[in-house]
Chains A and B, each alone.
Chain A
Amino acid sequence: MAGLRQKLSDRGPFAALLVAGCAVLSLLVLAPLYTLLSKSVENRAGEFVGLENFARYLSSGGIESAFLNSLWVAGLSTVIVVGLAFMAAWALTRTRLPLTGWVRGVLVLPILAPSLLPAISLVYLFGNQGVLKGWLFGAEIYGPIGIVMGSCFWTFPHALMILLTAMDNADGRHYEAASALKASAWRTFWTVTVPGARYGLVSAAFVVFTLVITDFGVPKVIGGQFDVLATDIYKQVIGQQRFEMGAVVSVLLLLPAMLAFFADRYVQRKQSASFTARSVPYKARADRKRDVLGALVLTPTVVFILAIIAMAVYASFVTFWPYNLDLSLNNYQFGRMDGGGWGAYFNSLQLALGTMVLGTVLVFFNAWLMERTPQPKILTGVFQFLSLLPLAVPGLVLGLSYIFFFNHPDNLLNGIYGTLLILILCTVSHFYAVSHLTAVTALKQLDKEFEAVGESLKASRWRVLFTVTLPLCLPAILDVALYLFVNAMTTVSAVVFLYGPNSQLASVAVLSMDEAGDIAPAAAMAILITVTCAGAKLIQGALRFWVDRSTRAWRQGTE
């Protein structure tokens, strides 16, 4: 028995650390969510009232308007974005167009911008004083049209990246077989290309749908009188201080997001089961007609994205739209507007850096514990669930949950309420799942016997971690760091409930300035955020280049 205890003590610390990891995630995600759920069945005084709040929301007509509006706007955006992204991915992977590197770069640019940016840009393009107002034939940009257009802009890169991954892995042999069987290009497209990308298509659809339905920035700026769930939560909470109704709408928003999440997980599981073949990478053959078609498919999307960004950049420099079109830096003097000025920008930088450092460390350490140390099966199961849960929780819902949980007078941690720390914690949790998946994927790719070899050579798991695992995971670590930085910089939804007088944020400042009618400074701040993210991307790109170069010898086996 003494021996058994000795053995346990060897593995115990790792299990204990993962239990701690579970506890942290429970504190940061599960507990706040639970508080939110319980709030939705309580009245203002905190007494249990069952589904009364839901009934009240139903009778106020909230379901018909906001809920259905959200569904169809998200559905329509999904169809458009997935369609366009699929065409773009096809053109990028199945033709031999020149400059595809640059085109890829432009197409993913929106990911560096806050979702508020396209909305502001659309106001300039199609709003009451918009330059292209006539193109809408009298229709209003303020409402569903604006929301759909804006959502398409910022969700496009997410869909594109999923589809590019799916289509980059195409098996060349299928195409060879099709051409050997004399299938026409059209038939090959429908019998080989589309089926090959079907899991990517489904996954992209779920992702876009969730992003649109939970987004708050676009409808807030350009939604006008058109209610959706996300703006409804904001109105209930910030406008009318009806927290319990905010909780009710949150639950309603949680439902479709959860549904999409589980459906996507289910589809992904099927995919990994069918992914076995030893494939030959596909190489596009020269085909002028196909190249022209590819260019035709890409052009509208590229033009749309560039137009939106260019409009925002231009508007941010115009002195007084539309009366004085002289260019100046007036709009960048944020000190003169609401929203916290340059201070907000520097707070955002701190938030982004803090989230990046804390998040990357936490994510990788936990993923390492889960993947590379001996753990009881149920513990890894619980941890995996907790890590992926944030993917199903919309930012607004998370933010509101944080109010309920951390602002409660009995919560020992309520001292962090209104500080930068709670913003960092909330943002780390908000973007935990995707980072976790990236880390786990990287760790799974390493030889599963590294630790066993290490132990036989009397090296502790820690030494193997620092001398082998981390160096090998460096590219993935850089990816996660950038992902966290950019999202912390651009996010609005979760943090809009949580900032305090000393922790105003740039992305929220865009919102407040827009609300106050200072649209040009809002555009300027949005551009500033975008430029900052682009800078981060460049730095990360340079670091990755450096890492790739200095490790090329051992990665590819050439000196």
Chain B
Amino acid sequence: MTQQTQGSRLEIHGVHKNFGDFSALRDINLTIEPGELVCFLGPSGCGKTTLLRIIAGLEQQSAGQLLQGNDDISLKPPKDRDFGIVFQSYALFPNMTVTANIAYGLHSVGTPKARIRERVAELLEMIGLAEHARKYPAQLSGGQQQRVALARALAPSPGLLLLDEPLSALDAKVRHHLRSEIRSLQKQLGVTTIMVTHDQEEALAMADRVVVMNNGVIEQVGTPLEIYQQPQSAFVAEFIGAMNFIDSAPLNGQRVMVGNRAVDVVRPLPEGKGGVRLAIRPEDVHLLPSGDGDWEGRVEAMDYLGAFIRTQVRLTDVALDLVVDVDPRSARQLELAVGNRICLHLPSDALHCFAA
């Protein structure tokens, strides 16, 4: 069976990166534990690839330090670091067979021929492409090419695996399948893995921890659940999943004013005197029969999205539209229909509070 790789620990301290006047990364601090799968998630241009390339040594940071294990790799060229990488384009060598591609890195370090054969066979078995060993990349499907690229990166048993949007070139079905395949392979090998993606679903499904980035800074680091349930900034709240925002003014203690109505909140209010942005997920809003709740509204639109109904409700007191997800059964009980009056309840423990 496949040997267990010792995944390495990675520490990033105060990394900055400037391209001329443009600051692509600012003060990045992050520790990744051995064997962990971490996703860098963020909108296009936020610096995910740049950070990954700095970790690989393909790009040089303007300031800051990187440690892999106890080894300061900050200024080492890529060939002196210990990692495997898979690019979005895969960059498979088109003039070499699957076998030769996978063996490429083993030849570099002078692995004996017999050992190379063994290792390649083992990897081919692992990715399930044993019968395609003698084909060229152009003769494989996208998903198969992806797996070859993965095998090639893993062949020298690196302590760190870097994946830059490895699934984005594939169609949805293959992508879903490969997600779990990569994940189980990674667990089985124990290799520390960093994956760049701008697909939040992918990140939440695969990662041990998610690093949410925006505009060159890390907004939040946490498990998928933490990121979803306790977003630490309005950006994270909005970027991950759907979110309603409600502007309010601080009143006293744990109360804020929305329009001319006081609202209690449980979560700590942001420091400072400015306004407070309340936020609540569509599935956390409760819909009640007219006359039963604290907020009055009118159903403006309903979209049937399979398992739930995305409903748009216009509040009567405040000029505000809320998006509410309702399951079909409750919708039937409430006789939900466009134009109907309805009541809403916003549970105070579901209200997030951000600085405006």
Contact = CB atoms under 8 A, between A and B. Distances in A.
Interface of A: 3-4, 6-7, 10-11, 447, 449-450, 452-460, 463, 467-468, 471-472, 551, 553-559
B94 A458 contact: no
Given A455-B78, A558-B139, 5 more contacts: A7-B76, A7-B77, A453-B152, A459-B107, A467-B104
Nearest to A456: B85
22 contacts: A3-B74, A3-B75, A3-B76, A6-B75, A7-B76, A11-B77, A449-B91, A450-B93, A452-B56, A452-B87, A453-B87, A453-B152, A455-B58, A455-B79, A457-B84, A457-B105, A457-B156, A458-B105, A467-B93, A468-B93, A472-B94, A554-B136
A446 to B, nearest CB: 9
B252 interface: no
Contact of A463 (B58, B108, B139): B108
A7 B75 contact: yes
B356 interface: no
A502 B114 CA distance: 58
Given A6-B75, A453-B85, A458 B56 contact: no
B89 interface: yes
B342 to A, nearest CB: 47
B303 to A, nearest CB: 32
Contacts of B77: 6-7, 10-11, 455
A510 B138 CA distance: 51
Contacts of A551: 95
Contacts of B104: 454, 457, 459, 467
Given A3-B75, A554-B137, A458 B93 contact: no
Contact of B136 (A458, A471, A553): A553
A453 B162 CA distance: 11
B108 A471 contact: no
B151 to A, nearest CB: 12
Given A7-B77, A554-B138, A557-B139, A452 B91 contact: yes
- Give chain B's interface secondary structure class: loop
Contacts, number: 95
A557 B79 contact: no
Contact of A456 (B60, B84, B89): B84
Given A7-B75, A10-B77, A456-B153, A449 B87 contact: yes
Interface residues of B, number: 35
Contacts of A555: 94, 138
Nearest to B137: A554
A554 B95 contact: yes
Contacts of A459: 79, 104-105, 107-108
Contacts of A472: 94-95
A498 to B, nearest CB: 41
A3 B77 CA distance: 10
Interface string B144-178: 00000000110110100000000000000000000
A468 B85 CA distance: 18
A559 B89 CA distance: 23
Nearest to B84: A456
Contacts of B40: none
Given A453-B91, A457-B104, A559 B58 contact: no
Contacts of B91: 447, 449-450, 452-453
Interface of B: 56-58, 60, 72, 74-79, 83-85, 87, 89, 91, 93-96, 104-105, 107-109, 136-139, 152-153, 155-156, 158
A471 B83 contact: no
Contacts of B74: 3
A214 to B, nearest CB: 40
Nearest to A556: B138
- Give chain A's interface secondary structure class: helix
A453 B87 CA distance: 8
A471 B152 CA distance: 20
Contact of B89 (A11, A447, A554): A447
Nearest to A457: B105
B21 to A, nearest CB: 15
B223 to A, nearest CB: 29
Contacts of B136: 553-554, 557
B95 A452 contact: no
Given A3-B74, A455-B79, A554 B87 contact: no
A4 B76 CA distance: 8
B79 A458 contact: yes
A457 B139 contact: no
Contacts of A11: 77
Centre residue among B58, B75, B156 by max chain A CB count within 10 A: B75
Contacts of B87: 447, 449, 452-453
A551 B74 CA distance: 41
8 smallest beta-carbon distances between A and B, as pairs: A457-B105, A3-B75, A557-B138, A554-B136, A455-B78, A449-B91, A458-B108, A10-B77
B138 A460 contact: no
B105 A7 contact: no
Nearest to B81: A456
Nearest to A553: B136
A248 B84 CA distance: 61
B75 A553 contact: no
Contacts of B72: 3
A555 B137 CA distance: 9
A455 to B, nearest CB: 4
A190 to B, nearest CB: 41
A59 to B, nearest CB: 53
B231 to A, nearest CB: 34
Contacts of B105: 456-459
A73 to B, nearest CB: 49
B83 A456 contact: yes
Nearest to A554: B136
A468 B137 CA distance: 13
Contacts of B155: 457
A458 B158 CA distance: 11
A372 B152 CA distance: 21
Given A3-B76, A452-B87, A472-B94, A457 B152 contact: yes
Given A452-B56, A463-B108, A4 B93 contact: no
Contacts of A3: 72, 74-76
A460 B137 contact: no
Nearest to B94: A554
A453 B60 CA distance: 17
A452 B78 contact: yes
A551 B107 CA distance: 23
A554 B137 CA distance: 7
Nearest to B110: A458
